[in-house]
Chains A and B, each alone.
Chain A
Amino acid sequence: DAGVTQSPTHLIKTRGQQVTLRCSPKSGHDTVSWYQQALGQGPQFIFQYYEEEERQRGNFPDRFSGHQFPNYSSELNVNALLLGDSALYLCASRTGLTAQETQYFGPGTRLLVL
């Protein structure tokens, strides 16, 4: 049973560029959340998708957008990259909308903005 997978593992971009990160949830999971983990910090919630809609959003600007596909996989898009967007981006999945269900995290995509 494959767990949560993310691609790419590493990425280097320059300021002003756009980036797309991808996530495939654990088999049987339909809810995907994205987190940003800056170096030396805990992960910060970006947003959550369920039934192809954004259900919740954290305190991130509109430059951060996402999408969920019918197969429950998800993309995170970041436009107009800033140096401060350099971080590990984590995807987490679980079943349904019940907050108490355990969320499973992927290995992350490490983004470096130069």
Chain B
Amino acid sequence: DGGITQSPKYLFRKEGQNVTLSCEQNLNHDAMYWYRQDPGQGLRLIYYSQIVNDFQKGDIAEGYSVSREKKESFPLTVTSAQKNPTAFYLCASGTGFAMNTEAFFGQGTRLTVV
């Protein structure tokens, strides 16, 4: 089945630890995005990538890092510099170079930092 897979679904980490969230897609999409969702705040863009080996900061990139070594994969690292990392993280992909095309979302990862 074609789709976008995020793992794990739930993740718990101690404060001060870096953590990497996985995102894999087999839709052959060029564009991939990471969003953060907090209650009542909608979706906020963390990073996006429109092509392999290239990525751009979104609106809230501080404390996060990404890589795009393969077209299928766009992992997100939440570093200890992120002040409030507990949130629901959503990865998405889209066709074409433009970001205004339909976005396909993964199931999301709920990160809790204690």
Q: Do A and B bind each other?
A: no
B interface, CB within 8 angstroms of A: none
